[in-house]
Amino acid sequence: MLLAGVEDRYVETVLGRIRLRVGGSGPAMLFWPSLLMDGTLWSGQVAHFIDRFQVVLVDPPGHGGSTPLTGPFTFEQCADVILAIADDLGAERLHVIGNSWGGMIGGTFAALHPDRTGIAVLMNATASPAGLRQKFEYGVLTRTARLLGGIRGPLTGPVRDAFLGPTAKREKPEVVATVNDLAGRVDIGSGRHAVTSVVPRRPDQRELFQRIRTPVLVVAGAEDTTFGVDETEEMADSIPGARFVVLEQSAHLAALESPTEVNALIDDFLADQGDS
C-alpha cells in the first residue's frame, strides 16, 4: 500500500531489521499495529498527523518489510526495538500509539523508558495474561496455518472474525478488504512466533504498568471480542491517571475501523497535555 508523504527507512534492532514508513516533521509519533497486521494499519492517521508530527509507522518484528522472526520474543525486547527506533531518529522523546500488540508494547515502553515517552495511546489492548479461550483459539489458528503453509486463503476468515465486529463487516467493506489483504501477507513462521509470544507467553503486566507516569489514553472497542471492554478497562485501572474511552462501533482494530473518531481522541488528549 502506498502512503503519500512517507518514505521507507530501516533500523537494526535486537529483533532484526525493522522497516519504518516515516514522513513529516515535528515531535515523533510512533504507531505499532496488531498481530498479523503491518504499519499500513495506520493509513487513516498518516494524512491527519503528518503536517504536525514526524509520523513513524512500524512494521513490527516479523511482519511486513521487517526481518522474519527466528523465534519467540519478550515484551522487553519489543520495547528495546522502540528505543532503537527513537535513537535512530534522533528523537529525545516520542509519542507511542499502539493497537493490541502495539498497545501492550506501548505500555511496556512507557513503564521502562519514562524519560523517552511523550504520551501513550493504548488501543484494544490488555495487561493481563492470556486466558484458556484465547490460548485455544490462537493455537488452532497457528496449527492450521502451519498445516496449510500460510495465513492466506481459508485463514483470512478466522482472522477477520477475530478482529472485526458486526459494524465493520456490515458497513465497511474497505476495512474487511484491508484486514484480509494484510492477514494474507503474513509470513507463516514469523506469524507463529509472534502469536506464541503475544498470546500464550504474554506476561501479566498489571504490576509493571503501575509504574507508568506518562499521560496515557486507553481505548476499548465495544465490539471487541478479543479483548473485551472489561479487560481493557482493567488495564487502564492499573495505570495511574489513565483516561479510559470506549468506541461504540469499533472492534479490535479501532484506528482502521473508526479513524475519524480515533484521530479526534488523540488530538483532544494531546491538547489536554499541551502538545497539539
Q: For residue 180, what is the DSSP state?
A: H
Q: Are 159 and 182 in contact (CB under 8 A)?
A: no
Beta bridge partners of 12: 17
Alpha-carbon gap, residue 104 to 126, rounded angstroms:
6
Question: What are the domain boundaries of the chain?
Answer: 7-128+203-272
Q: What is the mean pLDDT of the chain?
A: 91
Query: For residue 225, what pLDDT is reported?
Result: 92
pLDDT at residue 6 greater than cutoff 80: yes
Query: For residue 276, what pLDDT is reported?
Result: 66
Query: For residue 148, what pLDDT is reported?
Result: 41
Write the CATH number of the domain with boundaries 7-128+203-272.
3.40.50.1820
Query: For residue 136, what pLDDT is reported?
Result: 57
pTM of the model: 0.93
Q: What is the 3-state secondary structure (H, E, C) of 114-150?
A: HHHEEEEEEECCCCCCCCHHHHHHHHHHHHHHHHHCC
pLDDT at residue 29 greater than cutoff 70: yes
Check residues 185 and 260 and name the one with the higher pLDDT: 260
Listed in sequence order, the DSSP H helices in 164-222 are: 166-171, 173-184, 188-198, 206-209
Check residues 74 and 151 and name the one with the higher pLDDT: 74
Contacts for 106 with CB less than 8 Å, ≥ 6 apart: 32, 96, 97, 98, 120, 121, 122, 125
pLDDT band at 210 (very low <50, low <70, confident <90, very high): very high
Query: For residue 100, what pLDDT is reported?
Result: 97
Query: For residue 185, what pLDDT is reported?
Result: 87
